[in-house]
Amino acid sequence: GWAIECRINAEDPFRNFLPSTGRLVRFEPPAQNLFQGQATTEVGVRVDTGVVDGGEIPMYYDSMIAKLIVHGSDRNDAIARMREALNAFVIKGVQSNIPFQAALLAHPKFVSGDFNTGFIAEHYAHGFSAVDVPHDDPYFLVALAARLHMWYRNRAQGLQGQFWEGYKRLPGREFTVCMLGKEGDNRYVDVHLGEVALGQPCAVTVQAPEGAKVYQMIIDHYVGDARVTGTVNGKPFTVQMARGLAKNPLATRVIHNGTQLDAIVMHPRTAELHKLMPYKAPPDMSKFVLSPMPGLLVQVAVQPGQEVKAGERVAVIEAMKMENVLFASADGVVKEVRAQKGDSLAVDQAIVEFE
């Protein structure tokens, strides 16, 4: 057979792999069937870890929180098993490098075996971003977001019927999915859901620009679950989902194969009005030096009134055995020092403000 190991680290791949510390609000590894001392050669999954749900990832130690190991009948089987295991690995509260692992496993060069120790420097020389994990069928995520919305609508309608018999309102089947983009660059896709019957696939039709796509979908989900399992067009899948995001309480997040979709599922008329809403830009933080990660502030190298040149040291943050030096990106005069040596910093916390 063939074995692959992914080291799951508390690092944010979208912030140049800076450490991510804090509480593990949710830690649910995939199901295991391979264990230490097992004398057989069965294929399957094993997780080696020293953390638990609700535990703390402190700033004082190494960033590795788990080793995820799969054993397959051959290399392609092991890759497929690892991708599914990563889909089922739930980590919330801190960032992890799972999206990066998913991107590596899907990269054509890696799949073909054409790689070496310079692989990351060659293919991710300018860092890692969301565009590096494109989904092979992004409209599947759109269909699933609509199907989950319908699941919760049906549940609410069922509860309503128990308490207000005679006042039931059947939920509609026509929706518009707003795919939330950066800086208000949203995309809108119309979706129709067919009949829903227990144990039977629901036909989800997505009106993609290139033509209608139909997904015959069965989902297995319970309230509060971070995972959703099921089949789409007869093939099994495992995805992660969350409802009510901090940045948008109405949004649903779906994550599959490292790709993340944030979407709002709404009535078509609501979508027409939503398109008219102006984009509210975030506040301008260009005059601030922000902490790029959680950590301990071990040095502030400037003081109020000081003239600072671009490239000068401003502060030093320590986290997970590393010292990270922050430099001024432009010339300026320090207006205020907002954090002091010894402070524990959060991500994007202001350290220094310039005039």
Percent share of the chain, pLDDT over 70: 97
For residues 162 and 62, the model is more confident at: 62
The separation between CA 318 and the C-alpha centre of its own chain, rounded to angstroms, equals 25
**Which DSSP category does 13 fall into?**
G
Confidence of residue 36 (pLDDT cuts 50, 70, 90): confident
102 vs 77: CA distance, rounded Å: 15
For range 130-144, the mean pLDDT: 92
| Res 219: pLDDT | 94
2-132, which class in CATH?
alpha beta
Tokens of 253: 């997040």
Tokens of 249: 């309480």
| Res 168: pLDDT | 57
Burial bucket for residue 188 (CB in 10 Å: 0-12, 13-18, 19+): middle
**Rg of the chain in Å (alpha carbons):** 23
For range 240-268, the mean pLDDT: 92
For range 293-320, the mean pLDDT: 91
What SS3 class is residue 256?
strand
Give the pLDDT confidence of 163-220 residue by residue, as tens digits.
Answer: 555 555 566 789 999 999 888 899 999 999 998 887 889 999 999 999 999 999 999 9
| Res 236: pLDDT | 95
| Res 162: pLDDT | 58
Q: Structurally, what CATH architecture does the domain formed by 288-354 represent?
A: Beta Barrel (2.40)
Q: Mean pLDDT across the chain, nearest whole number?
A: 90
353 vs 169: CA distance, rounded Å: 54
Residue 130 has pLDDT above 60, yes or no: yes
27 membership: H or E segment, kind and range: strand 26-28
What SS3 class is residue 102?
helix
What SS3 class is residue 77?
helix
Domain boundaries, the chain: 2-132, 138-274, 288-354
What SS3 class is residue 157?
helix
What SS3 class is residue 58?
coil
Give the pLDDT confidence of 307-334 residue by residue, as tens digits.
Answer: 999 999 999 999 887 888 999 988 999 9
Give the pLDDT confidence of 65-115 residue by residue, as tens digits.
Answer: 999 999 999 999 999 999 999 999 999 999 999 999 999 999 999 999 998
Residue 161 has pLDDT above 80, yes or no: no
Same fold, 138-274 and 288-354: no
* Terminal-residue alpha carbon distance, the chain: 62
- Note the maximum CA span of the chain: 72
Q: Which residues contact 38 (CB under 8 A, 6 or more apart)?
A: none
What SS3 class is residue 298?
strand
138-274, which class in CATH?
alpha beta
